[in-house]
A and B are shown apart, each in its own frame.
Chain A
């Protein structure tokens, strides 16, 4: 896995966009960027992943820089239920299965 660096915590006002940054300067050409989140005491929830192009789904958007050394997860209209730890992971695929190595993530606190 490429090493990823995230800020330990962020605040966001309810209804505003939450922009969560991630640095992955050692990422290799075939390593995707994955985002998961974990709401307190629940299992991690898959959000989105991407390789080069920006991606959007019903939960979030993922913006990856052209050099692929960093990315930003965007929650367009944050709600209180989006308060969670957000993990940015760049797993390596060396065979049939992948290993997710979780860093410490970013604790996003959405404020009313």
Chain B
């Protein structure tokens, strides 16, 4: 089973709202990722968690706040977003094979976010 689930599938929020995106995997993976994908563009990495610790932050604005409560869950807290933050937000996970040369990432279906 290589399933990564994401909720909600769609989210519409105002610029003053606070919302959260959720991601879950039960593959025993120890690395989890958030990507952002604008329309007609490729996915871009935002954050990486390795063993529940933030290991990469690709200079993402502080209105996006990631959280990894345990090895199976990944959240992305949203606050005071701008309309240009409207995008497909993708979660991925991988085994995080330290010392190995390959570590396949598996993606969820994404959350389509619209900021009004």
Contacts and interface: CB of A to CB of B under 8 A. Distances in A.
B107 A49 contact: no
Interface string A10-35: 00000000000000000000101010
Contact of B44 (A42, A93, A102): A102
A104 B43 CA distance: 9
Contacts of B55: 96-97
A99 interface: yes
A45 to B, nearest CB: 7
17 contacts: A36-B107, A42-B109, A43-B92, A43-B108, A43-B109, A44-B43, A44-B107, A45-B107, A46-B2, A46-B105, A46-B106, A49-B102, A51-B102, A96-B51, A97-B31, A98-B103, A104-B42
Interface string B88-116: 10101010101011111111111010000
A99 B112 contact: no
B98 A41 contact: no
Interface of B: 2, 4, 6, 31, 42-45, 48, 50-51, 55-56, 88, 90, 92, 94, 96, 98, 100-110, 112
A41 B56 contact: no
User: A-B pairs with the 4 shortest C-beta distances?
Assistant: A102-B42, A43-B107, A96-B98, A44-B107
Contacts of B90: 43-44
